[in-house]
C-alpha cells in the first residue's frame, strides 16, 4: 500500500518522538506528506493534571504546549519531508478522529504511553480509542527504554 498523507498526532512525549522517527523513514520512502497534529486539551481542568488552574491560564498553557510540541515534532523530521502543522483545541481523541475525516490521510502513526491499571482507567488511552474507531489504519509505537519510557 502507498501512503500519500500520514497523520502524526503529537504531545511532545518520548512515544511521540518514536512515532515521528518512524514516520520520517516512511515519508521519505513513500514521498508522503506528514500532517503533524497537536491538540490543546480543553477538558475540564478539574478532571486533568492541572486541577486548580484558572481556565484562561490552563487554555493558554495548553495552547503553548500544543504549538511547541508540533514545532518540535516537525524539527525531528528531515527537511525533505513535506509537512503541515495543525494545532487544534478540544478532546485529543475527538480532534484526532476529526482530522482523520477532514484531512486526506491514509494512515495514522502515533505514540502510545502504554499506561495500565489505574492510570489507564483514569486517564484512558487516546491511542486505543483512535485504533478502535479510525476508518484508516493506525500504527502505534512506544518509546524505547533509552528514550525514557
pLDDT > 80? residue 16:
yes
**Count of structural domains, the chain:** 1
Query: How confident is the model at residue 72, as a pLDDT?
Result: 96
- pLDDT band of residue 53 (cuts 50, 70, 90) is low
Helix (H) or strand (E) holding 120: helix 117-123
Asked if residue 128 lies in contact with residue 100, where contact means CB atoms within 8 angstroms, the answer is no
* Average pLDDT value for residue range 105-131: 71
Lowest mean pLDDT among 1-10, 38-47, 50-59, 107-116: 50-59
Place of cell 523513514: 25
What is the C-alpha separation between 105 and 108, in angstroms, rounded? 7
Assess whether pLDDT exceeds 50 at residue 116: no
- pLDDT top residue among 59 and 73: 73
| C-beta separation of 33 from 82 below 8 A | yes
Comparing CA positions, the residue from 87, 109, 105, 106 lying closest to residue 41 is: 87
Query: Any idea what the CATH number is for the domain that residue 23 is in?
Result: 3.40.50.620
Mean pLDDT of 45-74: 79
Q: What is the pLDDT of residue 118?
A: 46
CA-angle at 14, arms to 8 and 18, nearest 5°: 50
d(CA 81, CA 20): 12
Query: Which structural domain, as residue segments, surrounds residue 78?
Result: 5-147
Of the pLDDT bands very low, low, confident and very high (cuts 50, 70, 90), residue 34 is very high
Cα angle, residue 50 at apex, residues 112 and 115 outer, rounded to 5°: 25
What confidence tier does 121 reach under pLDDT thresholds 50, 70, 90?
Answer: very low
Amino acid at each position: 500500500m502507498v501512503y500519500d498523507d500520514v497523520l502524526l498526532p503529537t504531545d511532545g512525549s518520548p512515544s511521540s518522538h518514536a512515532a515521528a522517527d518512524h514516520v520520517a523513514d516512511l515519508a521519505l520512502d513513500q514521498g508522503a506528506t506528514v500532517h503533524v497534529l497537536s491538540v490543546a486539551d480543553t477538558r475540564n481542568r478539574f478532571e486533568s493534571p492541572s486541577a486548580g488552574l484558572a481556565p484562561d491560564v490552563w487554555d493558554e498553557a495548553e495552547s503553548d504546549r500544543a504549538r511547541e510540541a508540533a514545532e518540535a515534532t516537525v524539527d525531528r523530521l528531515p527537511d525533505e519531508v513535506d509537512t503541515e502543522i495543525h494545532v487544534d483545541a478540544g478532546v485529543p481523541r475527538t480532534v484526532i478522529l476529526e482530522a482523520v475525516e477532514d484531512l486526506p490521510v491514509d494512515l495514522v502513526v502515533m505514540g502510545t504511553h502504554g499506561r495500565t491499571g489505574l492510570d489507564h482507567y483514569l486517564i484512558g488511552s487516546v491511542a486505543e480509542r483512535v485504533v478502535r474507531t479510525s476508518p484508516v489504519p493506525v500504527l502505534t509505537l512506544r518509546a524505547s527504554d533509552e528514550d525514557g519510557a
